[in-house]
Structure 1
Amino acid sequence: MISRRNIRVKVMQTLYTIDSMSGEVKPGEPLTILNKKLEASRGLFTYLVFFITEVARYSETDARQRASKNLPTAEDLAVNTKIAGNEVLWKIVETPGFSAAVADFKLKHIIDTELLKKIYLQLAASEEYKEYISVQARDKKSEKDILEFIYRTLLLPNEDFIAHVEEHFINWDDDAEMMEQLVAGYLQKPAGYDFGPILSKEKLDFAKNLLQTTIEKAEVTLELIKPKLKNWDADRIAALDLIILQMGVCEFLFFETIPTKVTINEYIDLAKEYSTVQSGQFVNGLLDNIHKELTQQDKIHKKSHKNSSL
């Protein structure tokens, strides 16, 4: 579910964490840090889906509470609970991996019931919801659309909800854009993910190899980078820029299925988004220069691969 770009971000963050640590890095520690970051993303993804399902299922809670009033009105006794039986919702809820992930991350203890109720009431008052419940029949598109409406319209723009997520998931800022894509994609095809490891074996191998190669080949990459710094000392440039450059050079030399153009573009984007204002241009110039040199020396050998641009 996570793209190679997302993986590069996690590896970059892991390398930066290691660079910021005092003392000697223990064997296996980098991989442990990377796995924790991936698990944090899995927990966040699971929670977002869990919250969506809880908003939808709150219609039954609302109906029960209103019906139990001392003097319920006709309106209280006629709360429409169609959404609680949403077919996509139940595909999610009945996925064994979903309930296991909810339990593993203790998500039921995190949820804010007052916020949940508030968002459900916003849903119930919306024209989209009224249109949804006005049709007795069910169809796949409307079942998916109403859940996506909850996510895109009621959750993502909601400052209270975002503050709530940020309080419990420190990775929200880094993962927000990725999560928007992942959750929307999942709601369209809920059968495509079982809430286990967030990376396939192939992509996990890529993440591990990129991390380990960047660490193991640090001296090799620095030998290529330092002469291109001109008046810059390697110790004076932004630590994150240096990490990005080293990752890029590793992909040039040791990842034969990734086209160099893809590598350069990806790391320019990461530099722009995560480092300084000048970093995008800086990384662009350095990687392009190193790429030309390695090409002239016939040190870059790539082969076609159908997934190389992922």
Structure 2
Amino acid sequence: MISRRNIRVKVMQTLYSLEAQEPARSAAEETQKPVGKPVDPFKILQKHFDQSRQLLSYLIYFITEVSRYAETASRLRASKHLPTAEDLNVNIKLAGNELLWKMLEDTSLKKAMDTDKPQLQDNGELIRKLYHDLTATPEYQQYITVQGRDKKSERDILEFIFSEIMLASEAFVSNVEELFTNWDDDGEMVSQLVMSYLAKPGSLDFQEIVSKEKKEFAKQLLQTVIEKKEVVMDMIRPRLKNWDPERIATLDMILMEMGVVEFLYFETIPPKVTINEYIDLAKDYSTPQSGQFVNGILDNIHKDLVREDKMHKINFKAN
């Protein structure tokens, strides 16, 4: 399922969207122009979760379509003007893969496909290419030459299609990157979900790929950063005396705010875990110097809280 790191990334991105929209709202208010409805931060957050599900649906859709293309290839070759014996005897074992059909009959997956509609993308040529890439491999040849079916080989060939055909294809990865701006953020996590699903089709609720606990953590983290912004900034500002505020990356400020919020209001998260998480996020998403900068500020705030005996985490709702 979605990790806490992914949750923090989505909260960070939501807060960044809100920061980006604030100057436009302020300018509109100053010029007395009509201002639209206030942006609902939780809707932005939900959109990020929806994008993760859409990416997951798309990857699984492609596995099923590449597998089912065996029947299409057989039909196309048989309909040639002068088909050869080979054209008339294309092996379609893959299209009848038992695991594939469990996936296609999965009610939760069907609902996700109806919602996300990956089939509306122009995927035909890419599916054909990946299928032909697959049929050229010794793994595929081994699969179709074995008589009968067993659960392991049925699963192995679908995992092979995903990990060694789809993800190994530059054309496929480029296509995914073009369609899903969240690929860099979610690719590894969603790929793990795909492999888990292939191990046990029907085990995943596509409408709830974020557990209730993780979703509640995301909402509380987002809400607390918004509601306690001034409290948090009162702790951060004194430590920025030697820094030009205009030159501090917006993401760095957001990450520091999130970190201090976790120090103060999230009882179950050890401070060292918080610091390490936000150092890593700063390194991955902000400037080359951001990891060291965020580390320095958060570490100093943590030390001051401990020294002043103020490191008593409380639930934000109780304050």
Give the TM-score normalised by structure 1: 0.92
Give secondary structure in 1 for the equivalent of 2:83. coil
Q: Which amino acid aligns with 1:143?
A: E
Q: Which amino acid aligns with 1:57?
A: R
Deviation at 1:77, TM superposition (A): 2.0
- The more displaced of 103-112 and 120-129 is 103-112
- The more displaced of 144-153 and 267-276 is 144-153
Q: Does 1:34 align with 2:36?
A: no
Counting only pairs closer than 5 Å after superposition, residues 72-221 of structure 1 correspond to structure 2 as 72-221=83-232
TM-superposition CA deviations, 1:92-126 (whole Å, max 9, x none): 21111211211211211114101110110110111
Determine the C-alpha separation between the residues in 1 that align with 2:280 and 2:74: 49
Q: Does 1:231 align with 2:242?
A: yes
Matched-pair contact (CA < 8 Å) for 1:252–1:291: yes
Alignment partner, residue 10 of structure 1? 10
TM-superposition CA deviations, 1:28-81 (whole Å, max 9, x none): 611111111111111111001101111011111111222222332221122111
Q: Which runs of 5+ in 2 are unaligned?
A: 27-35, 315-319
Determine the C-alpha separation between the residues in 2 that align with 1:27 and 1:255: 27
Pick closer, same or farther for the CA change 1:64–1:176 going to 2, 3 Å: same
Q: Does 1:300 align with 2:302?
A: no
Alignment partner, residue 317 of structure 2? none
Q: Pairwise CA RMSD of aligned residues?
A: 1.8
Deviation at 1:27, TM superposition (A): 5.0
Pick closer, same or farther for the CA change 1:292–1:26 going to 2, 3 Å: farther
Identity of aligned residues (%): 60
Alignment partner, residue 64 of structure 2? 53
Deviation at 1:259, TM superposition (A): 1.6
Pick closer, same or farther for the CA change 1:268–1:189 going to 2, 3 Å: farther
Matched-pair contact (CA < 8 Å) for 2:265–2:313: no
- The more displaced of 109-118 and 17-26 is 17-26
Determine the C-alpha separation between the residues in 2 that align with 1:284 and 1:199: 29
Give secondary structure in 2 for the equivalent of 1:190. coil
Matched-pair contact (CA < 8 Å) for 1:7–1:207: yes
Give the TM-score normalised by structure 2: 0.89
Counterpart among 266, 289, 297 of residue 255 in structure 1: 266
- The more displaced of 19-28 and 200-209 is 19-28
Give secondary structure in 2 for the equivalent of 1:215. helix
Larger Rg: 2
Q: Does 1:19 align with 2:19?
A: yes
TM-superposition CA deviations, 1:169-214 (whole Å, max 9, x none): 2222332232232222322233321211321111111111111111
Determine the C-alpha separation between the residues in 2 that align with 1:169 and 1:194: 21
Determine the C-alpha separation between the residues in 2 that align with 1:299 and 1:131: 65
- The more displaced of 7-16 and 171-180 is 171-180
Q: Which amino acid aligns with 1:20?
A: A
Matched-pair contact (CA < 8 Å) for 1:96–1:194: no
Pick closer, same or farther for the CA change 1:214–1:12 going to 2, 3 Å: same
- The more displaced of 105-114 and 48-57 is 105-114
Deviation at 1:147, TM superposition (A): 1.4
Counterpart among 51, 56, 78 of residue 67 in structure 1: 78
Determine the C-alpha separation between the residues in 2 that align with 1:72 and 1:42: 43
Deviation at 1:236, TM superposition (A): 2.9
